[in-house]
């Protein structure tokens, strides 16, 4: 991760998912995002989330989700919970993204200390 230790400042971490969603895929993607975020909001360590849709500007990503977690440890505990929930409903994010022609940029971020 660019030579930076995960969560060096001991604070929140942010999962930021950016998507290029074709118009025909919008409805299905939003349903999947809503379902996943409903689960995330119930998890220990969840702080807040944002589901954002671009309405102006030249950027290529038209859907962005941001979830703030108390710590990387909270994220680590939630990953298997989400994976199991997706398996129970036979939902594969990778398959859905590929099938719908969605492009994704997904990463975890932290605040820059001192700024």
Q: Which domains occur in the chain, in start order?
A: 13-110 (3.30.70.100)
Phi and psi, residue 31, nearest 5° = -65, -45
- Beta carbons within 8 Å of 38's beta carbon, 6+ residues apart: none
Position 10 pLDDT exceeds 50? yes
Position 104 pLDDT exceeds 90? yes
The band of 41, judged by pLDDT with boundaries at 50, 70 and 90, is: very high
Q: Are the beta carbons of 61 and 18 closer than 8 angstroms? A: yes
Q: What is the pTM of this model?
A: 0.87
The tokens for 37 are 């975020």
Express each pLDDT in 79-97 by its tens digit. Answer: 999 999 999 999 999 999 9
Q: What's the Cα-to-Cα distance from 35 to each of 5, 31, 58, 113, rounded to whole Å?
A: 31, 6, 29, 33
Outline where the chain has alpha helix (H). 26-40, 72-88, 93-100
């Amino acid at each position: 991760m660019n030579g930076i230790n995960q969560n060096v400042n001991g604070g929140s971490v942010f999962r930021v998912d950016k998507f290029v969603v074709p118009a025909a895929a919008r409805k299905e993607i939003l349903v999947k995002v809503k379902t996943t975020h409903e689960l995330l909001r119930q998890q220990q360590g969840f702080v807040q989330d944002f589901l954002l849709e671009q309405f102006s500007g030249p950027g290529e990503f038209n859907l962005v989700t941001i979830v703030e977690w108390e710590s990387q440890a909270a994220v680590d505990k939630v990953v298997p919970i989400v994976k199991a929930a997706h398996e129970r409903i036979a939902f594969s994010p990778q398959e859905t993204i590929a099938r719908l022609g969605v492009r994704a940029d997904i990463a975890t971020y932290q605040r820059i200390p001192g700024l």
